Amino acid sequence: MKIAVHWVQYEAGGVDSYLLSLIKNWPEDDQFTIIYNEDNQGLTRILSELEKHKVELVPFQIQNRNNLIRLFQFVFFPIYFLWLRLTQCRILESIHGLDAIMVQNGTYPGSWHSLATVWAAYKIKIKKRMLIIHHGALHSNIIRYPGEKIINYMIHTWATDLVTVSRATRQTLIDHKGFDPYKNPIRVIHNGIDLITDYSINTVQIRNKLKINKSNILLGIVGRIERYKGHEDLLLAMNDMDDEMTGNITVVFIGSGKKEEINRLKEMAYKLGLEDKVFFTGFLAGSSIQLISQFNILLMLTKDFEGFGLTIAEAMAAEVPIIATKVGGVEEFVDKTVAYLIPPESPSDIAKALTNYIINREDFSLRAKKAKQHIKNFSGAKMSKQYYRLLNL
């Protein structure tokens, strides 16, 4: 089978790890072609691994989105969307013999290039056309893009298969966009990860790089630095704790983000007297599991919705204790026996969890050991087998 993967992304993120695991664990010797935007930083992160699996790469360019182009897209959206379909048709037709296409989308509607590609695949009669949603659907806003409701209706026909990475994501498509699971079932395939044993190969040694004392408790958040990810809640939590409790705590935020948000967090850390305890590394090359394995605690503090929570799964595989908020699809694979779960936007609960860790590390270690066994139920091999089966039905 010849399979195309359409992937629009700008920064490195969870979809990188998901795609790498999907292809590495694919149960048959099928041929993959990745169609990607030229400024896709996620591809750069996993490119060397993909080359080992002889994946064909087909780039395309997304125009610079200045204000004039944005205005054109809004006012003439139907024409713009039709133009996208024609563009994607040409790309797909240049890849001869495609049997299936797997279109990756973050939020929904997410990238209009992605949705136009599903339409293009339908138009040129690619047999299997799968749309995969990795995050939640946005609330409908017909004023923002006239014609979106028509696309929501037609996507049931354009796509032969609709897939989400969690039941929570599936429900947002129904609640926010009016998707009809009776017309086209929305399948749930949870993300899977690869279990590895060597966490030191080709990975930045965080403590050495940042000159962090080996005796310090290292707290880490991995992912894009955006306000809804809850970095500020950790800073507020540390400010709530007694100085003797935070004396040997160091915080590392790994990931890229907008300069304004990073500066806002740095200013907050300064005002709270935490500037010497908080490090911003930007993007770090290497396996995210290998990076997470160096933490004493992995925190995932998303404020509103998380499609799955891949960094949590990676921490479980690395046997690293976890403090996470109960949002979105997290509780579909995590419970209180394997992680410390707290409500979102609650610095006081974060402070309580950190205090409990300092007082009783054995409890957190026990949960981490259970988590390592539990996450084996969400392997990359199992995930890939489910996608393979769906494409062959």
The string of DSSP codes covering 236-267 is HHHHHS-HHHHTTEEEEEES-B-HHHHHHHHH
Residue 219 in contact with residue 251, Cβ under 8 Å?
A: yes
Average pLDDT, the chain: 92
Q: Report the pLDDT averaged over residues 259-267.
A: 96
What pLDDT, on the 0 to 100 scale, is given for residue 64? 65
What pLDDT, on the 0 to 100 scale, is given for residue 287? 80
Residue 176 in contact with residue 347, Cβ under 8 Å?
A: no
pLDDT tens digits, one per residue of 167-213: 999 999 999 999 999 989 999 999 998 876 554 555 789 999 999 99
pLDDT tens digits, one per residue of 105-143: 999 999 999 999 999 999 999 999 999 999 999 887 656
For the segment(s) 2-188, the CATH number from 3.40.50.2000, 3.40.50.720, 3.30.70.270, 3.40.50.620 is: 3.40.50.2000
Residue 317 has pLDDT above 60, yes or no: yes
342: exposed, middle or buried (Cβ count in 10 Å: 0-12, 13-18, 19+):
buried
What pLDDT, on the 0 to 100 scale, is given for residue 168? 97
Question: How many Å apart are CA 219 and CA 234, to the nearest integer?
Answer: 10
DSSP lists the bridge partners of residue 299 as 323
Q: What is the DSSP letter of 124?
A: T
**Domain 206-378 sits in which CATH superfamily?**
Glycogen Phosphorylase B; (3.40.50.2000)
Dihedral-angle region of residue 10 (phi above 0 means left; psi in -120 to 50 means alpha; beta otherwise): alpha
Six token digits for residue 137:
């659907």
The HSE-up count of residue 224 (CA atoms within 13 Å, CB side) is 18
> What sign results for the dihedral spanned by CA atoms 74, 76, 79, 83?
negative
DSSP 3-state of 224? coil
CATH 3.40.50.2000 domain span(s) along the chain: 2-188, 206-378
What pLDDT, on the 0 to 100 scale, is given for residue 14? 80
Phi, psi of 234 (to 5 degrees): -65, -40
pTM of structure: 0.92
Residue 390 has pLDDT above 60, yes or no: yes
Contacts of 145 (CB under 8 A, 6+ apart): 74, 77, 109
